[in-house]
Every structure is written in C-alpha cells, then in structure tokens.
Structure 1
C-alpha cells in the first residue's frame, strides 16, 4: 500500500496513482484542469464545526485527531468513503491532496493514519 500526502498548491506534475482531493472547499487559484483529479471526496472531511474549532492549532491537534477519527467511525458515508480509499490504495498509489499550509497538523495526516491502520 502506498499513500502519499501532497499539498495541492505544492503539487509537481502528476504522480502516478489515484489523485483524490480530500478538502471540503475547492482550493483557490487551482483550476479543475490543473488539479487533474480522479475524485473529490468532500464527504470524508471533518465536519464544519470540528474544522472551525481546530482552526489548525497545533496545540489542539491530538484532541482534533481523536474527534475526527470518532466522526469517521460514527458516520456511514465517511466509513464508505474510507473503504473506497482503502480499496484504491490496495491496488495502486493513492495521492491524497489537501490545501492546509501545516503539513503535520491537518486532517489528511489523520486520514492517512486511519487508512494505514484500517
């Protein structure tokens, strides 16, 4: 299984594999053509209330991480999308694209961890 996290704004030319945007909001300044996505999975993102509470504060990351995992476990749609991603990663490289500036404290990191432990 190969899962790569990439900030969509820093993305070099296309890497092989499934390219999935995992942000709720489309990244500013990136055209759909330039993004060259295989899918946009808004459904797997943290709820708006959790995202706003976290606000990319590294001090809140551990608490955010657990709350996000709980959201995924308790939501059938999120579970279904997690399964889809897992199946994609089984057969081919999975490139999870996100927009957050902080590469260590964001939902993509949590999602990758869940996929690898799934």
Structure 2
C-alpha cells in the first residue's frame, strides 16, 4: 500500500512503513533527525518553475496536475524512482511525505494517481 502523510503530522507511526519525502525542498522547521525519512525523492517533485506557477496562481490545479504528470512521464529519473516505489510497496507499506498545507489539491495526490497509472502500465 502507498499512502500519503503530511510530514508535520505525527512524525512517526508504526503503520508508516518506508517513509519517502517527495518535496524538492526540505520542510521548514523539521529536523532531519526527527523526521525519520528513509529516502528523499527529489526526482518525483514538481519542477521549481511548475511549482511556482501554481503557487503564484499563474495556472490552476487542473493545469498543474496535467503538466506535473507530463514532467513525471518525461523524466527517466522519475520513472526509475516510480519503479523503486512499486518494488518497496510489494514488500510493505510506503508513506509519501509532503509539506503542503492544502490536503485536497497538492502534488502528492497527482503523484499517487500517476503511480497507479504507472503500475497498471508496467503490469501489462
């Protein structure tokens, strides 16, 4: 199972399994020693330009999601990391950690949808 969790919420739980930070920048106010992050997947984060365009309101969430999925599909590093996440998932729970305040519209939701599609394509 791949699940998501805001890094500021309950730093560590037994149910987290492997904890992967999927933000490009380290979350403010979080000590690395307290975060219990197993890996930092910068390759899976949206590009700085895309992230800034969305946060500044230059593009809406729908456009952000579309462009972010395109970035993921065109990046060899992202593709390799997606496969790594699926390999880890086959061994147990994987928790994707993020810092965004908005829990209804954020890059982790787009990433989870992308991982689901990626998994279906690799199973063919």
Fold conserved between structures, TM > 0.5: yes
Name 2:108's counterpart in structure 1.
108
Structure 1 residues not aligned, in runs of 5+: none
CA distance in 2, matches of 1:83, 1:49: 25
Question: 5+ residue gaps in structure 2?
Answer: 119-124
> Do residues 4 (structure 1) and 3 (structure 2) align?
yes
The alpha carbon displacement at 1:12 in A equals 4.5
1:6-63 Cα offsets, whole Å, 9 max, x none, are 0001135333311000011111111111100110111111111000011175x71111
- TM-score, structure 2 length as denominator? 0.86
Q: Whole-Å Cα distance in 1 between the matches of residues 83 and 68 of structure 2?
A: 16
CA shift for structure 1 position 102: 0.3
TM-score, normalised relative to structure 1: 0.90
- Mapped to 1, the partners of 2:24 and 2:92 lie a distance apart of 24
Shift of 1:116: 2.0
1:28: which partner in 2? 28
- The 10-residue stretch of structure 1 (6-15 or 102-111) with the greater mean CA deviation from structure 2: 6-15
**Would the aligned equivalents of 2:54 and 2:61 in 1 still touch at CA under 8 Å?**
yes
The number of residues matched between the two structures is: 116
Stretches of 4+ aligned residues off by more than 6 angstroms:
none
Give the Cα separation in 2 of the matches to 1:15 and 1:111.
Answer: 23
1:73-97 CA distance string (max 9 Å, x none): 1111111111111211222101000
Which structure has the bigger radius of gyration? Answer: 2
